[in-house]
Amino acid sequence: MRSKAWIVATIMMSSVLTTGCTTSGPLPAAAPGSVAATTTYRIGAGDKFRLNVFNEPALSGQEYSVNTEGEASLPLIGLVKVDGMTPREAEAEITKRYAAGFINNPRVNIDISQYRPFYILGEVKQPGQYPFATGLTVLSAGAIAQGYTYRADQKRVFVRHGDKSSEESVPLAEDTPVLPGDTIRIPERFF
C-alpha cells in the first residue's frame, strides 16, 4: 500500500503540471498605454506571431508573418486567415484547423512577437515608418521622428487607426496612445 505522502505528492505534481499547460483564463491587467489597455488588439498584415502547440515541439517556437492578404502560412494546415482576429480568436481558429485530422486535442497559444509599424508624416524632421513599441504615445512618436519642424502645430495631431478609413483630430499630449498600424499626421500651424 502506498503512503499518504506519496499520494499527496502525486496529486500536487499533477496539479502543477496541468495548471502550467492551460491557455485560457483571465489575462493579467494591462499596463496603462499598452496595446491591451487601449483596445482589444486585432491582428493585421505586417504582424508576426510565435506559435506554440503543447506537446508538439516540431510545431512550436516558430515565428510566422501575417501577409498582405491577412493570412499566415502554418505547417500542416497551410494558409489561415487571421486578419481582424484577436490573438485568442486566432488561437481558436488554428486549434480548430489542427484538430480537423492533424493533432488529437491540440492546445495552441500564440504570442505577438512583432507588431506592424506605425507611420508619422507632416511637420516632423524625419517622417516615415517606424517599429511599434508597447506604450507608444503621440508625443513619443514625434520624438522618434527626430522632433517637430518649426512650422508644426504642437497642440493637435491627426491620427488614422490602421482599421479606419478616416483620421481624427486628437490633442498632442503625453497620454494619447498610438496603436500598431496607425498613421500620425503633424499639421502645420497657421501662425
Tell me: the pLDDT tens digits for 122-151? 999 999 999 998 889 999 999 999 999 999
Q: State mean pLDDT over 98-111.
A: 92
Q: Which of 21-25, 33-37, 105-109, 151-155 has the highest mean pLDDT?
A: 105-109
The three-state secondary structure class of 123 is: coil
Order the strands of the 183-186 sheet from edge to edge.
128-130, 118-122, 183-186, 156-160, 168-171
pTM of the predicted model as reported, rounded to 2 decimal places: 0.68
Q: Are 45 and 69 in contact (CB under 8 A)?
A: yes
